[in-house]
Structure 1
Amino acid sequence: MTRHPYLSPDAPRVLAHRGLVTADAAAHGVAENSFAAVAEAHAAGADYVESDCHLTADGEVVLFHDDDLRRVADDPRAIADVRLHEIEELMSERGGLITLVQALESFPDVRFNLDVKAAAAAGEVGRLVAPHAERVLVTSFSDERRRDALAAARAAGSRMRPATSPGSATIARLLAARALHRTRLVRSLLSEVDALQIPERQGPIPVVTRGLLRDAHAAGVEVHVWTVNDEDDMSRLLDLGVDGLVTDRADAAIALVNTRGTAAV
């Protein structure tokens, strides 16, 4: 399997989860997924930023995790019911709203890991990332949304498809296939993706195992683990052989990777 340009150069990679909000920035009201959070991650040396995509009432893709504004801006309205200028006003004292267009244009050296959170956003996400497919990974808990975004990128004339990581249904099929020793199905499922972005455990059940890493790497697929904030856990997972850490502490993770003698990429 040919390595997607998104995954070059070599691992391990640090993916800044929703950007980077340091304790000092948080004390000044900076929110996750804001323009300031993405800028802080970039300034800390993170070449990868993980973020989330929603669609506003007037059709703009914004980087925002939740379906509504309640947690971040103390406003109960859904993102889908609010126009862009209204969210910009709410986020003006929280680090500033960032749209997908602004992210791609303002940070041309950053590679974006985009989780499509809303079905309505999939087509527009695909269209917008089409010119940037070499530095974008598209994922979603919903495989349907993920595939819709990839199809939209192709329809928009993308020179290559964006990198991709499977949704929860595909990951469940993969784990079941491995448990049943259905090697052909494991290979087939892995052939459709560039990375597995998964938690270390799902409740009491381990997800990241040496066997899974072995199968993924044999297929040319990377394994990125979320969300890893403890430095001992970071070291342990890197020793295990994972290829990427999705973390709220990108600055600490980059420093750790650098001390291990491999530049964070």
Structure 2
Amino acid sequence: MTHPWFEGTATPRVLAHRGLVAPDDARVGVVENSFAAVAAAHSAGAPYVESDCHLTADGIVVLFHDDDLSRVTGDPRTVAGVTVLELERLMAERGGLITLAQALDAFPTMKFNLDVKAADAATAVGTTVAPYGDRVLVTSFSDARRREALAAAQTAARGVRPATSAGSSTIARVLAAVATRSDRLLARALTGIDALQVPERRGRVRIVTPRLIAAAHRHDVEVHVWTVNDPDDMRRLVRLGVDGIVTDRADIALGNLS
């Protein structure tokens, strides 16, 4: 059965990478993964926001990509080393902090693709999204972290389990199965997986190929490619058969892929 996260939205899916920060917004200090960036993606009509989850010192899940604050705020501390109130002050002139709970409540029609960045955030992410599982996809480079978040959501048992995309070790198994043309190994690797979210290439190695897309589709698994900002590349990948584009410029993608 198709998970509700995939229903009601046509492919190719446009996933707003860390929200949307257009050039004019960036010039006035708005940053990625801020409340303003998520609101801009929503206003542009993006049905999905791809974001990242960390845990503050006082146990609040926030949308933030890096382990530390230096690149985004100039503060050298880690996300785990500050309280949510401290982080709110740092983000006040950068588009505003947004917690995971706030994102789910403030944008009730939006679906979220959540990457669990920190090991200590996995359980908190799962319990936070449990009531909203129909519009959440959980992922992580770490399959263990991804599974921990899913288990926490299922333990809370307050709705539909979140959808999920494969972590790095599962993707490696999928690629090996595709290379050896083993549908048995492929089926085993894709058990419980709803999507493969991958870059088009890793160095000189091409990951997204017609064979991979066909193999995933045979098992009712979608292929989403990150992070694609050039309209020509977006259209080329869609022609190849990918189901979703993760992009910093959801506004451009929506205008070119609709």
Residue 99 of structure 2 is aligned to residue 103 of structure 1: no
TM-score, length-normalised on structure 2?
0.98
Q: Retained in 1: the 8 A contact 2:138–2:150?
A: yes
Q: Retained in 2: the 8 A contact 1:114–1:139?
A: yes
| Distance in 2, Cα, partners of 1:191 & 1:135 | 20
Query: Which aligned runs of 4 or more in structure 1 are off by greater than 2 angstroms?
Result: none
Q: Retained in 2: the 8 A contact 1:191–1:219?
A: no
Taking the TM superposition and a 5 Å limit, the aligned residue runs for 1:150-229 are: 150-229=150-229
Q: Retained in 2: the 8 A contact 1:67–1:79?
A: yes
The match for 1:240 is 240
Task: State the secondary structure of the residue aligned to 1:62.
Answer: strand
The match for 2:91 is 91
| Distance in 1, Cα, partners of 2:211 & 2:94 | 43
The match for 1:261 is none
Give CA deviations for 1:216-250 in whole Å, capped at 9, x if unaligned.
11111110000000011001001111000000010
Q: Percent identity?
A: 64
Q: Retained in 1: the 8 A contact 2:132–2:159?
A: no
Amino acid at match of 1:3: T
Task: State the secondary structure of the residue aligned to 1:72.
Answer: helix
| Distance in 2, Cα, partners of 1:159 & 1:251 | 32
Amino acid at match of 1:202: R
Offset of residue 253 of structure 1: 0.1
Taking the TM superposition and a 5 Å limit, the aligned residue runs for 1:1-265 are: 2-9=1-8, 10-258=10-258
TM-score, length-normalised on structure 1?
0.96
Give CA deviations for 1:143-163 in whole Å, capped at 9, x if unaligned.
000000000001111332100
| Distance in 1, Cα, partners of 2:107 & 2:18 | 14
Offset of residue 12 of structure 1: 1.0
| Distance in 2, Cα, partners of 1:148 & 1:203 | 30
Q: Retained in 1: the 8 A contact 2:69–2:77?
A: yes
| Distance in 2, Cα, partners of 1:153 & 1:17 | 23
Q: Retained in 2: the 8 A contact 1:14–1:250?
A: yes
Task: State the secondary structure of the residue aligned to 2:246.
Answer: strand
Offset of residue 136 of structure 1: 0.1
In structure 1, list runs of 5 or more residues that go unmatched. Answer: 259-265
What is the alpha-carbon root mean square deviation over aligned residues?
Answer: 0.7
| Distance in 1, Cα, partners of 2:33 & 2:159 | 28
Give CA deviations for 1:163-188 in whole Å, capped at 9, x if unaligned.
00010111011101211222101012
Amino acid at match of 1:139: T
Task: State the secondary structure of the residue aligned to 1:193.
Answer: coil
| Distance in 1, Cα, partners of 2:235 & 2:96 | 33
Task: State the secondary structure of the residue aligned to 2:225.
Answer: strand
| Distance in 2, Cα, partners of 1:181 & 1:50 | 31
Q: Retained in 2: the 8 A contact 1:53–1:65?
A: yes
